[in-house]
A = this chain, B = another copy of it.
Amino acid sequence: MTLDDCRALDAQDKLAALRAQFTLPAGVIYLDGNSLGVLPKAAPARIAEVVAKEWGEGLIRSWNTAGWFDLPQRLGDKVARLIGAAPGEVVCTDSTSINLYKVLFSALSQQLPTNRRVVVSERSNFPTDLYIAESMCRERGFTLKLIEASELPAVLTEEVAVLMLTHVNYRTGAMHDMKAITAAAHAAGVITVWDLAHSAGAVPVALNDCNADYAIGCGYKYLNGGPGAPAFAWVHARHADKFVQPLSGWWGHAAPFEFTPNYRPASGIARYLCGTQPIVALAGLECGLDTMLAAEAHGGMAALRTKSLALTDLFIQLVEERCAGHGLSLVTPREHADRGSQVCLSRGEGAYAIVQALIARGVIGDYRAGDEQMPDILRFGFTPLYLGFEDVWNSVEHLRQVLETAEWQRAEFNAKNAVT
């Protein structure tokens, strides 16, 4: 595999034209779209329009004339197309953590009539997901049990109420088999809550086909919605009208404009709304969603997935060929079925410094610290909407040079001795 081979792959790539939808800084190879997505070209003008026209001129009238009230549902319908959900099943609102609180509360409420009082999650799940679950379990008389993925499905005993998993692991890039795990959970009487933060827009997701129960996800990673963009929540239709969530604000009321003193939840997913949403941020999110939906004309998520796997395969192959002997280990699963859209490497030492040296060269990935049980991680996200095969070649070439020239050790030395 050579640079010319990579360029040839780019020339044949029917998705390559999608990159033109984005503004990317010169000199940057951006491998951190799993942390913060890039700027859609349409976003500055659309956001400026919302600010100057809808807010500045329309003022309060824009709640109706500009359709502000419908934004969580209208954008939710766009997200639905990316995660195998139906129109009317998704809302875009609040943060991922807050949406997790809502759906986990509802899932636990379903199990209150049973004796099941354990919530199972992975020890390596997003810390913020574990923090939310920890507080709620303590408050509602449940126990949070943290496991390794290898303990599934054996751990799903008759004590387990909810299995709360992130579909693609943020540290390792490992992906769960949502359909098989959901089936195993249901067979054991367990309700599933899926975090799609590293899945929506990254890998095909088929919530209804998997018969999942609850899902939440992030707007600012693969969906390119902008920093801190609102998140989303999905609830299977069979549960949606049966339980309430406790953040019972007026946007989730059956008749918000009657201003009645008693709460009456809206039917369906609308009851997962709470307070007034940041309209300008929702406008940015819509621009990001539209860049994803533009791929539908080119094969959609299936085509993006094929390219994503080709990019991550290539990255793994080139690292193993060209960076051999430098102590890097592959953390992400090699099997396609087990891999998300990122590649994570570990190294006995220097992971942080290597990432910093790469960033100094314009190759932006990130670092996640390990602990006694998990190694330090160099994390590289591959977003097929705007990355090509030459980008992969160049990023590995930078990594090779950083390792071979010991540039990372100098970077580490400088960091340690910096006057801060």
Contact = CB atoms under 8 A, between A and B. Distances in A.
Nearest to A134: B263
Interface stretch (A77-85, A91-99, A411-419): A91-99
A247 to B, nearest CB: 6
Given A249-B98, A253-B131, A280-B227, A44 B51 contact: yes
A246 B260 CA distance: 27
A98 B96 contact: no
A180 interface: no
B47 A60 contact: no
Interface in A8-67: 23, 25, 28, 30, 32, 35-36, 38-39, 43-44, 47-48, 51-52, 54-57, 59-63
B44 A59 contact: no
A366 B250 CA distance: 18
Interface residues of A, number: 80
A247 B55 contact: no
A139 B68 CA distance: 32
Interface stretch (A122-130, A312-320, A322-330, A399-407): A122-130
Given A275-B231, A364-B60, A55 B35 contact: no
A253 B368 CA distance: 17
Contacts of A56: 23, 25, 38-39, 44
A261 interface: yes
A279 interface: yes
Contacts of A258: 369
B43 A60 contact: no
A59 B43 contact: no
B135 A55 contact: no
Given A279-B227, A280-B47, A369 B259 contact: yes
Interface string A187-210: 000000000000000000000000
Given A47-B280, A274-B97, A39 B60 contact: no
A276 B368 CA distance: 18
Interface of A: 23, 25, 28, 30, 32, 35-36, 38-39, 43-44, 47-48, 51-52, 54-57, 59-63, 68, 94-98, 101, 123, 126-128, 130-132, 134-136, 139, 146, 220, 226-231, 244, 246-250, 253, 257-263, 274-282, 284, 359, 364, 366, 368-369, 371
